[in-house]
Each structure stands twice: as C-alpha cells, then as structure tokens.
Amino acid sequence: MITGENSSANSVSTPSNSAVQMQELDPLTLGASEEVNTSSVCSESRKNSHSSKNIDVSVETFTPEVLGLRKKSPLNSSLYDLTFSEHSKMESEIRIGDGLKESTDGSTRVESMRGKTNEARRDEAITETSGVVTTVVSEGLSFVESTRGIVVVEEVALDRIHEFISGNVANLQNYNSCNNTVYEGKSDGQKSASVDRRCSQTVKSTENSEIGQSLQVSLPNIETFDEDSSDIFRKKFEDLDTKEIAEALTYELKKYSIPQAVFARKVLNRSQGTLSDVLRKPKPWNELRGGREIFRKMKEWLDLPEVKRIPQLRTEAALELDAKARRADLHGRGSKKSRLHFTDSQKRALFAIFKETKKPSKEMQNALAEELGLECGTVANFFMNARRRHPDV
DNA sequence: TGGAAGTCAATACC
DNA sequence: GGTATTGACTTCCA
C-alpha cells in the first residue's frame, strides 16, 4: 500500500521556487519534467503561487507492479493501465502521468495525497504540475475535470465515462490502439483545451462492490475521433466553477491593471457591462445555457501562461484606447441613443407592484403604463429585468 | 407567443 | 478612467 506522508525528504527547487520533497530522487525525471504551474483557476491557489510560496510534496518511489500499474506506453509517455485490484476503495489517491515516469532505476514515482482534503489535493495538483500530462485518480471527487492538463477521475466519473462510451461506441475508432500524448510541447492552455480530446488514455479500475473486476475506459483517438463527438464528450462532463473563475479573473485583471473593457472586447468579444455583470454575479454552471461560453473563454485565458497572456493583452489595451478615441470621435458627430431613466415616483410605483406580483397581467401592465406615462413595452421590460435582477424582492 | 437568458450600451457612480 | 447599473434589444425555448 502507498505510504508517503512521513517520508524524509530531499529538497529540489523548481522553476517557480517550489520545494519538492522526495525520497529516492530521480534527477532526470525532475529536471526534465518537474515544472511548477504558477497559475490556477482557484484564486486562492493563484495567490499562493504568485507569492512563490514553497510547497512541500511528499513523494515516494514505487515500482509500477507494486501499485498495480502496468506500463503501456513508451518510457516517456504518461499512459498507463491502472489495475486497482484489491485496492478498489483506494485508501490513498495516486497521481500518475509523467510524474510517474520510469526512473533510471526502473521505479516509478507516486505522490501520496492521503489525508488531504479534496480541495487541497486539487489545488496541489493544479499548482505543482505543469508541462506534464498528469492523471489524478482521487476518491471523493464527483466529476471529471480538465484543468491545465490535469484530469481528475473518480470511480463515479469512470462509471459515467463508461456509460457514455457504451452509448457512443460507434464513434470510438481505434478503440484501444492509440498511445500518443497529444499535448507534449504545448502551452498549459493548449493542454487544457485539448485534454478532453487526448487519445486513448486507458484506465482500469475496480468497481467498489466487485473487487478484482476492472473497468476499462478508453478515450478516443484525437486523429480519428471526429470533432463533434469530442465536443459532445467535453460538454457532457464539463462542470466549471463559475464563481472561482470569476474571482480568479477579477484578481488577475486587477493585478495586471487590465481594464474590463479591454478584456471583455478582446478576449470575450463582449461588452464591459456584460463582463462586469458576470464577474459580480456569476450564475452557477448548471443554470447557464449560452452563457457558458463566456466562462469557457475566461478559463482558457486563465490557463494560458502569464508570459503569453499579459503582454499580449497590454498591447491590445493600447490599441483599444486608440480605437476608443476614434469611436468617441465618430459618435461625437453622430447621435447617441439616449436612455430612459425612470423617475423616483415611477420606480417606487413599479417596485411596489413588483413586490406584490412578479408577473402582472397584460392588463395590469397596460394600466400601469398609462398611469405612469410609460410605454407598455417599458413596463414589460421593467418586470422582465426585475424578475432576474431582484429575485428576492 | 410569452418568458427567460444573454447581451448591448448609455450613463451613473466611485 | 474604470466599474456598476440598468433599460432595451435579440435569441432561444417550451
């Protein structure tokens, strides 16, 4: 069984100054692949990473056989078959991937995360790993997530994946044949974007109730799996934390003095007001329809390495200022559509009615419009807007 | 067709 | 100057 919490440790500095404490260090593996991700969707972990806080991670060395892992791919591939034989409930969670590369001595590294909260595990996984393909198999997480090249799979999720694949087997070409790692050499963001489409990650897991049985899950080959199907797959399991994304983005924009207007226009292709609204009042993912797109874009941007996204946006900001000046100049010559503003008495009357009834009849709206000297459409708009903006009134 | 969701854009506000 | 608010428009869906 995996025991790692009490390991004594050597300390290795990573590019972002994190200290990784290990037993039986494998310098080749560390030197080549242990980059530390300095960004995270979670604002808290983002703050931590930006502050260059050292992170201690217990790492032990195990052979694949000890872990029930059967290496399937070439040495540098992250793809393994997992067989959770008698450890179906997984007392410990195992992180595999390039972090599990075979060492020069033929052993395999596994980081034990037992005893930590799911959030802690996820934050660590996000914060510590970069430039590698990492799979986190963690009991207690209830969804499949792709964050900066990290896939979190739990048995419940595996069941769902299996169920999905069963229903879409026609789309699964080269079912068990592909072994490629698709995002080697890509940026974090690219990895994240493509993580759901990566090819043939094979995971064998034991059902909770049926020890010894294994569930084989193969994700399709990116080369042969058509885009529509991969989209369906991605969207089926997508479950973004809109609040976290909104907080993280607000933090980033402030930190780098990026105006909402610039970000909204250049990255999201939306207006400043729209961005402000969703940042302040992000709706839960499951309540969104088309509004999910904006959060996907935010996350994609957050997933980009800072060196890439910040200078690019600053350049865009300068251009935006020029464009704004030109627009203002044009508007100055044209006419701006002025906006109606309710008087205090109109507002009081409208809200008084709204308090009583959220959906007044057409007749009532007409009467109200006449009484207040407003258009019927204006009154209808008021109630429409009030229902979503003041649901608690 | 009405209502909800998504959004724009004017403008109030800090 | 940047952000928050909000009246109105568009799109989607039942």
Grade residue A27 by pLDDT with cuts at 50, 70 and 90: very low
Residue with tokens 């590698």: A132
Query: Torsions phi, psi of A131, nearest 5?
Result: 70, 10
Write out which nucleotides of chain B lie closer than 7 A to a protein Cβ.
Answer: 2-12
Q: Measuring from the CA of residue A277 to each C1' atom, give the nucleotide at the shortest distance.
A: C4
Long-range contacts of A210-214 (CB under 8 A, 24+ apart): A210/A88, A211/A85, A211/A86, A211/A88, A212/A85, A212/A86, A214/A83, A214/A84
A253 beta partners: none
Percentage of chain A exceeding pLDDT 70: 36
Query: Torsions phi, psi of A268, nearest 5?
Result: -100, -15
pTM: 0.49
Q: What Å value separates CA A287 and C1' C7?
A: 24
A385 touches strand C (CB under 7 A): yes
Higher pLDDT, A328 or A248: A248
Q: What Å value separates CA A100 and C1' C4?
A: 48
Q: What Å value separates CA A273 and C1' C4?
A: 8
Whole-number mean pLDDT of chain A?
A: 57
Q: What Å value separates CA A54 and C1' B5?
A: 44
Q: What Å value separates CA A283 and C1' B2?
A: 23
Task: Work out the angle between the directed axes of helices A292-303 and A188-195 (0-180°, nearest 10).
Answer: 140
A389 touches strand C (CB under 7 A): yes
A173 touches strand C (CB under 7 A): no
Q: What Å value separates CA A294 and C1' C5?
A: 20
Give the three-state DSSP class for A138: coil
Give the three-state DSSP class for A282: coil
Q: Cα(A149)–Cα(A193) distance, rounded to whole angstroms?
A: 8
Lowest mean pLDDT among A80-94, A215-229, A302-316: A80-94
Write out which nucleotides of chain C lie closer than 7 A to a protein Cβ.
Answer: 1-9, 12-13
Residues of chain A (350-379) having a beta carbon less than 7 angstroms from strand C: 375, 377-378
Higher pLDDT, A283 or A232: A283
Q: Cα(A188)–Cα(A251) distance, rounded to whole angstroms?
A: 19
Which residue has the closest alpha carbon to C11 C1'?
A: A290
Q: What is the mean pLDDT of residues A35-48?
A: 34
